[in-house]
Chain A
Amino acid sequence: MSANKQYIIDYAVRLGDDAIVLGHRISEWVSNGPFLEEDIALGNVALDFIGRARMFYTYAAELTGNGKTEDDFAYLRDERQFQNYLINELPRGDFAYSTARQLFIDVYNTHFLAALKQSNDETLSAIAAKAAKETKYHLRRSTDWTLRLGDGTEESHQRMQNAIDELWGYTHELFEHDALEQRLIDAGIAVDAAAFKAQWLADVSQVLEQATLTVPTAEWAVRGGREGYHTENLGHLLTEMQFLHRSHPNCQW
């Protein structure tokens, strides 16, 4: 355990970063949704991701000790210390853009969490089991919306296609891992996402084709999230997300 401990902490923080950054992005839709029920659905999904982040960060804090808490990870780290995949930090865009991202992520999480459930690390496995149940609902929603917008009006179809083309290059790094994750994969703790890339592509393609959308073939790819290299968007997100905590350190209410 001790040899792997720091790796597990880093891994849990990365998974927490993915969840909190996306959760924050989705939460930006609250009170801006297209209609009331959808507004509520977006709030619910955001909450699931933020809850997921809390579980990963709390675990990392427990392993770290020294009185660390989830808040230290969420609110007191800078942009370069966040190691989320870039797709999560991209601005929410229009509703089609948020829908396309959600479809990609929900399909990804369906496979990722199923694999993480098999982790030798009991806590990561338990968090995955919890989150997988929620992802089932997320995926149904993002699939429904993709079909509705893709196979909807000329305008909604075009916006969905634009979103898919713009996001496609950010999906590649989701299936790549660095030396740290490789060590944990070898120990049966982390997930080897490369193993389900083909399945992800098949699942996403099926939905896109049913929605009369075209699966991109462009080969450009952006990478860097796991190394802490971000798009300009993350810094802006963090200033807003961390503002209150940093302005009133240790405030309790």
Chain B
Amino acid sequence: MQRIPTMSQAQYEREQFRRNSDHGELWDLLDEVKDPEIPVLSLWDMGILRDVQYQGGQVTVTITPTYSGCPAMDVIQEDIENLLRLKGYSNCKVETQLSPAWTTDWMTDYGRSQLRGYGIAPPDDVAEPTGETPEANVACPHCGSSNTKRVSEFGSTACKALFQCNDCCEPFDYFKHI
């Protein structure tokens, strides 16, 4: 499917922030850390990587939780520390920042296409974006049909809802807008 690349204001600001950082190589390095539940998404694409600082030999990585009880956050923190140590940054710490609260608007366009390829419908693949999980018509990531129905508002993890396609009959996860 051809898509015109567009991005939200929030996403544009994230891109600029990263581009203007003095430590681009650290941001690039951290692209290797993936969400443990969705291994095709990097922390950057997911929108949870907030800031990377390097001062006095110490790397400080700031991340933001997706859902408050998300058990992946502890693993993500360990993955960041392990990677940085492996690459020679023995002095590193990971900080968690709550505000402003994470929103799926921070997910990158590349991340959204990765999600589709992985079989998860991204937050904006809905007929009418209202910010709430619709009862139907989320585009099926398998066949593209919009003839789909919601099975449950809560899916395999806190961030997803469960849908089924009426055309190809496959069940699929929908990444909830939040």
Contact = CB atoms under 8 A, between A and B. Distances in A.
Interface of A: 23, 37-38, 40-41, 44-52, 54-55, 122-123, 125-127, 129-131, 133-134, 136-137, 140-141
Q: Which 7 A-B residue pairs are closest in the complex by CB-CB distance?
A: A51-B69, A51-B68, A126-B99, A41-B154, A47-B69, A37-B152, A126-B98
Which interface class (under 10, 10 to 19, 20 to 34, 35 or more) fits B?
Answer: 20 to 34
Contacts of B99: 122, 125-126, 129-130
Contact of B162 (A37, A52, A129, A136): A37
B interface secondary structure, majority: loop
Contacts of A136: 132
Interface string B34-68: 00000000000000000000000000000001011
Given A122-B99, A123-B98, A140-B132, A48 B152 contact: no
Interface in B59-110: 65, 67-71, 98-102
Given A37-B152, A130-B98, A48 B162 contact: no
B158 interface: yes
A interface secondary structure, majority: helix
Contact of A48 (B69, B98, B132): B69
B178 interface: yes
Given A37-B152, A137-B176, A50 B101 contact: no
Most buried by B among A40, A45, A50: A40
